[in-house]
Amino acid sequence: MAIDHSTISENGKPLTLSRNNHSQFFVWREFLWGAIAGAFGEGMMHPVDTIKTRMQSQAIFSGSKNQKSAMQMVRAVWATDGLAGLYRGIAPGVMGSLATGATYFGVIESTKNWMDETYPGVGGHWAHFLAGAIGDTLGSIIYVPCEVMKQRMQVQGSKKYWTSVLVKEGSQEKLGMPTYGYYPGMFQAGHSIWKEQGLRGLYAGTGVSTILFLS
């Protein structure tokens, strides 16, 4: 009589985890490590992202003249807001990266396992491609609103700095664009954007972000 050694441990006792449970554990591990990796990466690189966002948006307020270089922008942010200015918007940034990392890696592994079991004929590169596309698309549902909130908070900096920018540059008419109130935190930012612009405001740039993810 044949014995299924996959269900018996070395000491002859049944294994506590079946292959099915082991597979599920592996998938949940991907969710966990994906979330940790995403949050860690965002936390480490957030100051760099803040400088990039400030540099990209400075032309809105100062025009094409007097554009600051990266080092000049670092000094400017540090002088006005200190370390808190470099980490402004960290909460939605970490939240978005955490959720996106978990969704991306977890969904990819789940989809690959599902395709292997349901459609064993579709494997290799196609399975990876479809799993990645699904993971990226689902991730953008969480990532985009967090990214919108994060970038707005990065541009604003501290309340003192944002007020000085509006006073210096003048009213909305002078800026040629609608300005928005200061966001003390992530939830206030989300509520304000939802109230003023609705779902479209929170998901601004979704199409471009999805294409970027899929490329």
**Tens of pLDDT, residues 170-207:** 544 455 555 677 899 999 999 999 998 899 989 988 77
Report d(CA 107, CA 57) in Å as an integer: 34
Would 192 be classed as within a structural domain? yes
Q: What is the pLDDT of residues 84-139, one digit of tens each?
A: 999 999 999 999 998 888 887 888 777 777 777 777 776 667 777 777 778 778 88
Number of separate domains in the chain:
1
Would 115 be classed as within a structural domain? yes
Report d(CA 15, CA 8) in Å as an integer: 6
Would 5 be classed as within a structural domain? no
Which residue range forms the structural domain that includes residue 182? 19-59+66-214
Q: What is the pTM of this model?
A: 0.74
Report d(CA 1, CA 214) in Å as an integer: 51
- Tell me, what CATH number does 109's domain have? 1.50.40.10
Q: Mean pLDDT, the chain, as a whole number?
A: 78
Report d(CA 49, CA 144) in Å as an integer: 15
According to DSSP, the residues that pair with 8 across neighbouring strands are: 14
- What confidence category does residue 214 fall into, taking pLDDT thresholds of 50, 70 and 90? low
